[in-house]
């Protein structure tokens, strides 16, 4: 079983390591479902002093699950489960209090109030009370079902995510303790192409980047994978009849090109790879970083 189907969870609170017991442990998630593989499957970031790292492939091997048999069937069964949805009234209640929404306040400083509000309405950005000033990026699929909403906290002056003393990111269904809940993510902005069938579609990694790009380059419908490991053929199915251009972050181009290679309607932009300096690559910049840089005019 190849580990590419699984990825270390991003943006989550770290857990107690099964080996050293320090709260430095990051679990693996199944990128198709967003669910943890198991509480003991992950990596301790105390590499020198602990070094605990149990990969999904090792875990399934210990369980006696063969990569070509039960494991694949089990994953397919998970993927075929009906996704859970959030009640639309919950989303509707969050479309307010933008003066206290850090991300929306920052968006106003970039585009001005009118355009910022238009972008907010287009993507149906919500405000959360989970953390004061927090933002909700709702995932609404092509049928306008609400898959869930990602809650994140930003600095209202810089537009950067708040990562200290911990990474402020969670999901609406977790914050509301909705159980059981089967999270099956869709593309952020997946609902947009149904309203505008002629515009070409562009896909980036982060929700923030999609919104910023939409403000600077409105000739495209900008969607986001909401995670580098979330791009796959299944999530691109709703766009089978559209021309799609991918704009991977620096360092992700090769992986996204591999996915796009078998899809006739999908191409990959290499403009960031062409323009990047060594410092840019070290920082892992994305399209939004270039669009916001006054020394690099919009692409």
Higher model confidence: residue 41 or residue 32? 41
Q: State the pLDDT at residue 24.
A: 87
Q: Tens digit of pLDDT for each residue in 36-65?
A: 888 889 988 876 667 888 888 888 887 776
Range 82-95 average pLDDT: 95
Q: Of the ranges 14-18, 215-219, 222-226, which one carries the lowest mean pLDDT score?
A: 14-18
In this structure, are strands 169-171 and 53-54 parallel, antiparallel, or unpaired? Answer: unpaired
Q: Which residue has the tokens 């999609």?
A: 210
Domains in the chain with CATH codes:
3-80 (no CATH), 88-175 (no CATH), 192-292 (3.40.1360)
Alpha-carbon distance 288 to 158, whole Å? 13
On the question of a cis peptide bond just before residue 183, with omega within 30 degrees of 0, the verdict is no
Q: Tens digit of pLDDT for each residue in 76-87?
A: 444 446 889 999
Alpha-carbon distance 239 to 220, whole Å? 14
In which band, very low, low, confident or very high, does the pLDDT at 294 lie, cut at 50, 70 and 90?
Answer: low
Has residue 129 got a pLDDT over 60?
yes
In which band, very low, low, confident or very high, does the pLDDT at 289 lie, cut at 50, 70 and 90?
Answer: very high
**Residues in Cβ contact with 289 at an 8 Å cutoff, skipping those fewer than 6 apart:** 280, 283
């Amino acid at each position: 079983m190849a580990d590419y189907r699984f990825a270390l969870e991003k943006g989550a609170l770290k857990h107690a390591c099964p080996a050293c017991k320090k709260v430095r442990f990051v679990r693996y998630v199944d990128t198709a479902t967003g669910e943890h593989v198991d509480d003991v499957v992950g990596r301790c970031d105390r590499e020198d002093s602990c070094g605990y790292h149990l990969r999904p492939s090792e875990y399934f091997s210990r369980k006696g699950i063969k990569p070509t048999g039960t494991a694949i069937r089990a994953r397919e069964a998970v993927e075929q489960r009906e996704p859970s949805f959030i009640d639309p009234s919950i989303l509707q209640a969050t479309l307010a209090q933008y003066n206290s929404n850090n991300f929306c306040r920052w968006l106003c400083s970039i585009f001005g109030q009118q355009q910022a509000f238009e972008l907010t309405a287009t993507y149906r950005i919500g405000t959360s009370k989970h953390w004061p000033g927090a933002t909700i990026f709702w995932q609404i699929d092509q049928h306008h079902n609400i898959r869930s909403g990602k809650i994140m906290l930003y600095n209202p002056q810089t537009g950067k995510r708040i990562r200290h003393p911990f990474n402020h990111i969670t999901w609406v269904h977790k914050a509301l303790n909705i159980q059981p809940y089967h999270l099956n993510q869709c593309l952020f902005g997946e609902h947009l192409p149904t309203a505008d069938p002629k515009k070409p579609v562009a896909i980036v990694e982060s929700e923030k980047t999609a919104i910023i790009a939409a403000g600077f380059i409105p000739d495209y419908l900008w969607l986001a994978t909401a995670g580098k490991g979330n791009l796959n053929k299944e999530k691109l199915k709703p766009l089978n009849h559209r021309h799609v251009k991918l704009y991977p972050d620096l360092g992700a181009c090769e992986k996204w090109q591999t996915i796009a290679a078998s899809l006739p309607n999908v191409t990959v932009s290499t403009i960031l790879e062409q323009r990047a300096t060594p410092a840019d690559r070290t920082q892992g910049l994305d399209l939004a970083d270039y669009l916001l840089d006054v020394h690099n005019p919009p692409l």
